[in-house]
Copies of this chain bind each other. A is one copy, B any other.
Amino acid sequence: MKNFTLQNPTKIIFGENQIANLKNEIPKNKRILLTYGGGSIKSNNVYKQVMKALKNHKVFEFSGVEPNPKFEQLLEAIPIINKNKIDFLLAVGGGSVIDGTKFIAAAAHFKGDPWEIVANDPSPIDTAMPFGCVLTLPATASEMNCGSVVSKADNSIKQSFGHDLLYPQFSILDPTTTFTLPPKQTANGIIDTFVHVSEQYLTYSVGAKLQDRFAESILLTLIEEAPKVLKNPKDYKARANLMWCATWGLNDFIGVGVPGDWATHLLGHELTCLFGLDHGQAIGVVLLSLLNIKRKQKKEKLLQYAKRIWNINRGTDKEKIDLALKKTRDFFKSLGVKTKLSEYGISKNEVPTLIKQLNQHSRVGLGEHGDIDLKQSEKIYKGCF
């Protein structure tokens, strides 16, 4: 196990009817900016529950946060914050709304070019507004981590950043808010979680047995519960397990003391920028190709994955890995998700554009060995067809 430091201060309030607790989590004197997306929270009753809980608070609104939240649009929140003396942000939605709110929290009182918050590593902030979340779409785990991803409005770049000041103070996770999710969003969330776990688990072994088994715990639970919610979207137990799985996919704990890959995310971001693929769609496709291309380096972990996740005990190592990858693809398909770029109407001729974009964004030296250069990335993209 590698040395590590870990501190995750986010308070999780989990379960049915927990949104009412908002009133206790935000001090009475706070002036709140409620951030949300396209308005699904109005049709699914979440907005009503939030406003009821906050009826004795002063609440302002900033709506229309887009999927893959846009830097320029998020900046529009800052004058609202200043004008109304907002001192607390409340994100109500999925990962995009929470990620966007983290950026607003960081940018609100930042002196200097706000893109530096995103582009510079470490992020140059020394303060952030306090914020909480009401999660309605389990996927990114942004509700229990300090990371965020924002994009430029012209889709020229999708960039992740993070800072210890950007852990939510609290996140409310009510599985019933996910009952009305469109199947596509449910599926994307499951794939996002699956890939988060894979990026931290399917690398090379450092003998961190607990982290490995926690990762496997999440994968096994995803595989077991996914068909249930696709069949019955109001299966509370399954929705609760999937929601908790998504949070665990990237809430720090399975990633401490072990190497991380993250090439799938970086290659996936370019697909989202260039072709508008949903985040879950993009990284699902890339993961399948990347695991295949990097099968030699990842062999030990892929065999462990084959055995413990898919119960594959027979055959040569190659056959076992082939079968594990096939079963992974079949699982993604069973969620109604396409697993090849050609199925999304993207031509192989686009690979050079993707590579050019990767190069522009200095996305080289990727993966747990830092050896994924543009040539390897090209191979991985080509394997997506």
The residues of A with any CB-CB pair to B shorter than 8 Å are: 1-18, 170, 207-210, 213-214, 216-218, 220-221, 224-225, 237, 240-241, 244-245, 248, 253, 256-257
Contact = CB atoms under 8 A, between A and B. Distances in A.
A280 B236 CA distance: 38
A169 B310 CA distance: 41
Contacts of A217: 210, 213-214, 216-217
Chain A contact residues: over half helix, strand or loop, or mixed? Answer: mixed
A284 B216 CA distance: 28
Contacts of A5: 11-14
Given A217-B217, A218-B210, A241-B209, A7 B15 contact: no
Nearest to A4: B14
Given A7-B11, A12-B7, A207 B245 contact: no
A1 B241 contact: yes
B12 A9 contact: no
A210 B1 contact: no
A69 B286 CA distance: 55
Contact of A214 (B10, B207, B214): B214
B6 A12 contact: yes
B213 A221 contact: yes
Contacts of A257: 14-15, 240, 244
Contacts of A7: 9-12, 170
A76 to B, nearest CB: 32
A248 B6 CA distance: 13
A241 B18 CA distance: 35
Contact of A221 (B3, B209, B218): B209
Contact of A210 (B4, B13, B208, B245): B245
10 contacts: A1-B237, A2-B15, A4-B12, A5-B11, A5-B12, A6-B12, A7-B170, A208-B240, A208-B241, A210-B248
